[in-house]
Every structure is written in structure tokens, then in C-alpha cells.
Structure 1
Amino acid sequence: MNAPVSKNILNYLKKEGLKEGPCRLFGTSYSSGLKEASLFNGVSSHCMDFDDVSWATIGHPSVSVAPSVFACAQKGKWNGKQTLLAYVLAVESMHQIARLTMPQLSERGWHTTLAYGVFGAAVPAVRLLGLNEDECANALGIAVSRAGGVRANFGTQTKALHAGLSNRIGIDCAEMAACGINASHNAVEGADGFALCFTGEAIKGEVDIGEFWDLHENGLVIKRYPCCSGTHPTNDVWDEFLSAHPLKAEDIDHIEAGVSLLGPKEMTCHLPQNAVQAKFSLEFALAYRLIFGKLSLSSFTDQNVLAPEIQAMMKKIKMEVSPELAKLGFIGTAPIRL
């Protein structure tokens, strides 16, 4: 709740007229309605970039859907089994669509947390509202027209806002379907649908939910560092190297960091000037570990980012795509050559 974006989104909700409801705004004394709580909790859960990652989406599934799940569980007074089922169905719904449209969607600059999350976040509300199969399909069709989120906003508070919007919009889509608004049941895979518009390509293959379970086959990857997952392999390698070969800033003339094709799209801040930008900077991660030690939650402050020695070291670091790593294609595992 101390994060600036959490305070800002709470101020927004208050100006909108925050009303008392059954759903808790985590980390605060407020409770409100489904959409208000899911928006706030999504933003606050993602603002530290300390969450899980999915290989299916190269995004963050839990922050995309769990706030919707928790809000619906509180309003519906669900038990643990009902809550867990809603979470599994939510994650699988977004992952099934991702399996048919990745990595092309990510290659075109979409932020998968919101682009896919709206589908998953609609599912708990579909269950809460007791929608039938036809109405559920309408909710997902409406979500096609509400999906979005671009990586150009990485390094700003809007990146965390994407997670909140995913949850709020998903619930909104289910509520609209419950009120009788219909949508194309081919809106994901059909002509001029989600797949074609977001990837430029028609879907190849079929959704096989109930036969293939992404959570079972691939699971979730839990972050070790509170920053963009694109820096994590680099953080591991750099920490291992410095532990065995201690260096000081004055020992280094320059550092060349070779990354894969996804690297420049995620790590967009090369000389960050604040803590939010630093979470999307390979240069900051390398400089901080060298000068101050291992990365942690306390590493990402404006004061640390603006420290003269950090700013000077970041200017010695050059990140560019490695021709060798580029041959691996558009992958989410973030390999590195230092």
C-alpha cells in the first residue's frame, strides 16, 4: 500500500466514489465492490514486479486473475475448494488462448498480462453470476474487444495498472453478458478476431482445455528478484561470478550484455532515473549488484537509482541482441552472454 501507484489508484477510486462492499482492498482498511477491489488489488499486487511468470504467456498469470478470484470468493462466500477451482479455470482459460497465439502476440508489442488476462479474469465472475455456456461465450467474446496493454508503458505506473485493468475488465465483461449483451462465439479464432488482429496470423490448432492442463504440465515460475523477469538469468550469472571473483567498479572498463530477441522489448530503461524504471533495466541490475550487493526489495528506491556511482556504472554497460542468442528465436527464458 505504500507504493506510489497504490496510493494513486486508491485516490482514483475515491474520486469515483468508493462505496462500502464485501471485497477487501488488501493492505488497507477499505472494503468495496467487485470491480473496485479487483482493480486496486491487481495494481498493488503487480507494482513491485515480484510475482509469478508463465511460460505460456511470458506474462504474470496470478496478478491477472487472482484479484478477480478473491473478490468473487468474498462476495460469493466461497469455500477454499470453490476459490481454487475458479483460479485454476481462470489461469487455464488465458493460457489456452496464449498457447495458440504466442509468441506472435508478444512479438507485436502487446503486454500479455492484460492481453490474455481479461479472458481469465472473466471466468470467476462467470461462476459467481451463474452464467450458462452461451453467456460465458458472450463474456469471452466481449473480452476480445476489451483486451489490450502495450509494452511501451513498461517502466511506468501503467505497467502495474495493466494487472488491475485485467481483473476489473474481466468482471465487467461477465456482468455485461449477464445483462444480455451478446458477442461472437468465434471472436477469438474467427475472421478479424483476437488471434488475427493481435498476431497477424490465423490460429493454428484447437483449444484442448480439459485434456491439456498448463498448470500441471508447465506450472508457474516464482521470481527470485522484484524486477522484470528478463533480468533474472543475468542476475543469477552475475551474482555467481562476483561471488567467486570479487570486483570493484574501478576494475571495470565496460560490460557487454548480449541478450535474446525479447530482451530489448522488456528491458527498455537503459539509464533509469527512478525506482519504477529501474525494474526494467538490465544496466541497473548489473550495476547495483556490483556496487551495493544482491538485489532485494530495498534495492529499488529512487535514492539508489540516482546514486552517482550507479549512474556512472550504468553508462559503462551496453545491452544489445547477441547474434548467437537471436538464433534461439523469440523465447521467454532470457538467456544472457556477459
Structure 2
Amino acid sequence: MTFLAQILDLAAMPSGEIPASARSMARFSLFDWLVCGRAGVSEPLAVILRDYVGAEGGLPAASVFGGTKAPARAAALVNGATSHALDYDDTHFGHVGHPSVAIYPAALAVGEEVGASAADVADAFLIGAEASVRIGMVLGAGHYNRGFHQTATAGAFGATVAAGRLYGLTRDQIRVAIGLCATRASGLKSQFGTMGKPYNAGIAASNGIECAGLARAGFTSADDGLMGAQGFVLTHADAPQPSPPVGTFLFEDVKYKLHACCHGTHAIIEALSALKRAHNLTPGRVASIHLRTGTRWLSVCDIKAPRTGLEIKFSYNWLAGMVLAGISTASDRAYTDTLAQDDLLADFAAKITVEGDAALTDMQVVGEVQLKDGGKLPFAYDLAARLPDAVLENRLRAKATGLIGADGEQIWAMIVALDSLGARDLGKALR
């Protein structure tokens, strides 16, 4: 079976065949995505994009975070960028991307447009997210290391599959839509630390709706835009990797952020937080810290001297100081431009060395704290272990309360009642 055929089979999977465990994770992601989007509505880029699409006008088909309604494609653009504005959304390390912010905006916008059920929106997201994970994994580390932002590239294919499923496209129409996406998907890591990074999520969602919509209208495209000659994978990957057979849902390995910064930094935050609790560790007791992390993160999270609050989110050195100084990494309000000029954090950052270790996964860190009194505190942390659903629910609800207050519990109530709601009911949570 070709890889394209595998993706087409996945896109056509009957809802009754979707594993309950995967569906559970998709609904956690829906909750987390809605919360992150609501929390991001006041961010400057969100305001700019709402004003931008509002000035264009068009059919008010889908809800916009913090706004009213807009055409589905425009709503997806705003909602993808807005929900990624705080960089506080879920991550799948298998393809190094953020599934929800690229795919849920497309699924919900189309769901509202066609009057789908909320459960169908969640299932379409799950199928699209699974496609994006598999495409991201086939693209492999070389794609990411070249400088492509897989939230935007692989994510656009996932958004296309999700939108096509909700539009009711035939197998051949979805093939066409994927072919169109192959010439549309884009997004670069050079945008990290700027408004361009969350914009990448918005264009993925918007591209997905556009490609599915054009296929629905009768467009044609390359026979195999993924693996065909000069297709997306062969032009954007160094050495394509194999994809496991459809059946097991790789999406289930998705991880949720409990710190408002790049997910590549969360393992060190958890490790140092544990040392702080166990040993009353403070910056004044530390002589040096040596950190080993997955090699790919060195080009993402190793900003030595951040200039802005956004850049702090990608700085191992600054975040380590924040943890030991007792500055919240969970609150997005902590990441200010003023904090980037903090002399004490700058002095502490000079004590930290970061080294890439090819033997570590993207979710692991190991290292050692050298104390001024001569003592040594080794540490290690691995984000891979899946939390029990009850624990995950409690932590996500606590995160939601911290971000948007009592509205978080209202959104959770919608998730609990999802099977009785329509997409347009979900849309009200954005407005």
C-alpha cells in the first residue's frame, strides 16, 4: 500500500472504528485548545488578525475567538494563530508539532459552516491529527532540522483531511485536496520568537479549508502530492521514514503544556522544580548547571540572551533561573520584555551550559547541578509517560482556571456534554 493510500484509508475510517482511548485524548485537546484560544484573544497578533478579516467581510459562517463570525477560511486563520499566541497548546513529539492549533480551527469552522455535530468535529480533528502526525513522521527529523515548522507543514495536511471529512468529500476528492495542500503547505522555524510562529498555525488551518473547498468545487491536482515525483515529501525531506500501519493511533502520544513556553523546555522545568522542592534549591546555592537535551532543541530552545518575553519562552538558561527564583513558568503574564532585562537572571544564565545528546529523545533531559558547597545534584526527566486520564483532567482544568478563570469550568462542562452538542454550540465558546 502506498503512503497516500494509507492516508486516504485513514480519512475514510468510520467513526465506529475510532478507538475510545484516542477519542478521549482528542476531547482533552479540544478543551485545551478552546482554553488557549480564549486566553489569547487580547494578544496583539489576535487583535490584528480579527481586524484584518473583519475588514474583508464575507459570509459569517464560523465563530472567531474574541469576535463575531467570519468566512470559514478566515475564521480558521484567526483561530489558529490566536490559540497558538501564548504557545501553551498541545505538542506531539513524534512529528514535532502542535496538532490542535493547526487542525481544530479548520474542523470547527467547517463544522459550523455545514452544521455538523460537535462529536463529528472532534472525530474529524482526530483523523486529521493522526494524518498530520504520520506525515510529520514520514518527513522525519531532517524536515524540521532544515528549518520547516511542522505545525504548519504537516499540520496543513491534517487540516485538509479534517475539513475534507466534514465536507463529505469522496476518496478521490480528498486525494485532490491533499495534492493541492502539497503545493500550499508552508511555514518556517525562523519565525520563532515573533508573531510569525502563531501565524504559521493559522495558515495551516486556513490552507486546509481552502484545499478541501477547492477539491469540493472540482479542482484537479497532482495524482500523489505526498510521495509522487517532486511531491511534498521528496522535495522537503532528507530521507523519508516509514509509517506504521493504520490501526494504532499515534496521536495518543500527544502531550499537554503545563508551562507557558516551548514544550522542548518542559522537561528541564519539571526536573529543576523537583530539585527545588526536595532540596530547597535557590539560585544563590548554585555554582553551575550542566544540561543535556535532545539535539534538535539546540536550534529552538537555546536562546542564550533573550531580548523579549517571547524569546524567554525559548531559553533554557532564563527558564532555569525563573524556576529556581520562584517565578511562575505556568503564567503567561510572567514572560515580559522587562524580565528579559533582569540582571539577576542574566547573571544566573551564565552559570548554565547546554549540550545536545543524540541518545536522548525530544522528551528527555539529564544533567547535574553543582552546588557552591561542593555538593552535586543529578537530575533526569522524561515527558513520555502518559498521565492517567483523571490526573490529566485535573491538571488541565487547573491550567484553564489559571488562564481564564471560571470560564474554564463552563468549557469543561461543554466537553462533558459534547455528544449532545452541535458545532455551532461549540462556536459560542469562542465568542
User: 1:266 maps to which residue?
Assistant: 300
Amino acid at match of 1:283: N
The correspondence for 1:333, drawn from 317, 338, 363, is 363
Structure 2 equivalent of residue 18 of structure 1 = 57
Cross-structure match for 2:47: 7
Question: How far apart, in 1, do the equivalents of 2:45 and 2:193 lie?
Answer: 12
1:101 matches 2:139: yes
Residue by residue, what CA displacement relative to the aligned partner does 1:199-222 show, whole Å, maximum 9, x if unpaired? 123x4546733x33223xx43211
- Displacement of 1:90: 1.0
Is the partner of 1:222 in helix, strand or coil?
Answer: coil
For structure 1, the 5+ residue unaligned runs are none
> 1:194 aligned to 232, 243, 265, which one?
232
Contact 1:68 1:171 in 2 (8 A): yes
Q: For residues 116 and 162 of structure 1, what CA distance do their matches in structure 2 show?
A: 11
Is the 2:75–2:109 Cα contact (8 Å) retained in structure 1? yes
1:304-333 Cα distance to aligned partner (Å, 9 max, x none): 333332233223333232xxx2234xx321
- Out of 262, 267, 274, the position equivalent to 1:240 is 274
- Distance in 1 between the 2:273 and 2:334 partners? 15
Which structure 2 residue ranges, 5 or more long, are not aligned? 1-40, 369-431
**Deviating more after overlay: 248-257 vs 264-273:** 248-257
Secondary structure of the structure 1 residue equivalent to 2:264: helix
Q: 1:190 to 1:207 in 2, by over 3 A?
A: farther
**In the TM superposition, what whole-angstrom CA distance separates every residue of 1:153-172 from its partner, at most 9, and x where no partner exists?**
11111111111111001111
Q: Equivalent residues in 2 for 1:273-292 (5 A)?
A: 273-292=307-326
Matched, 1:37 2:75: yes
- Does structure 2 conserve the Cα–Cα contact (< 8 Å) formed by 1:157 and 1:276? no
Residue number among 324, 333, 345 corresponding to 1:310 in the alignment: 345
CA 1:170/1:207 → structure 2, altered by over 3 Å: closer, same or farther?
A: farther
1:177 maps to amino acid: A
Q: CA deviation at 1:41?
A: 0.7
Distance 1:12 1:306, change over 3 A: farther
Q: Quick check: 2:177–2:221 contact (8 Å CA) kept in 1?
A: yes
| Contact 2:114 2:167 survives alignment (8 Å) | no
Letter in 1 for 2:358: A
Q: Secondary structure at the match of 1:42?
A: helix
- Whether 1:144 aligns to 2:179 is no
Instruction: Note the alpha carbon deviations across 1:11-54, whole angstroms, 9 max, x for none.
Output: 33244x1345031112x232111011111110111111111111
Q: State the Cα deviation string for residues 147-188 of structure 1 (Å, max 9, x = none).
A: 221212111111111111110011111122223221122221
Partners of 1:5 and 1:319 lie apart in 2 by: 32
Q: 1:164 to 1:52 in 2, by over 3 A?
A: same
Distance in 2 (alpha carbons) for counterparts of 1:198 and 1:223: 28
Q: Distance in 2 between matches of 1:43 and 1:293?
A: 27
| Cα separation, 2, equivalents of 1:20 and 1:271 | 46
**What is aligned with 1:71?**
109
Q: Which residue of 1 aligns with 2:33?
A: none
TM superposition shift of 1:268 = 4.2
Contact preservation (8 Å) 1:263, 1:334: no
Count matched residues.
327
TM-fit CA distance, 1:9: 2.0
Alignment-mate amino acid for residue 133 of structure 2: H
Matched, 1:299 2:331: no
Question: Could you tell me whether the CA contact under 8 Å between 1:271 and 1:315 is conserved in 2?
Answer: no
Q: Distance in 2 between matches of 1:206 and 1:314?
A: 40
- Quote the residue 2:93 is aligned against: 55
Give me the whole-angstrom Cα distance separating, in 2, the residues matched to 1:292 and 1:253. 18
CA deviation digits over 1:261-292, x for unaligned, max 9?
Answer: 11212214221121111111111211111223
Corresponding residue number in structure 2 for 1:214: 250
2:191 pairs with one of 134, 143, 153 = 153
Alpha carbons 2:261, 2:329 under 8 Å: kept: no
Matched with 2:262 is: 228
Q: RMSD of the alignment, in Å?
A: 2.0
Contact 1:139 1:183 in 2 (8 A): yes
SS at match of 1:271: coil
Partner of 1:173: 211
Identity of aligned residues (%): 25
Corresponding residue of 2:157: 119
Q: How much does 1:252 deviate? A: 3.4
* AA matched with 2:49: I
Q: In structure 1, the residue corresponding to 2:291 is in which secondary structure?
A: strand
Distance in 2 (CA, whole Å) between partners of 1:245 and 1:52 is 31
**Distance across 1 between alignment mates of 2:242 and 2:207:** 27
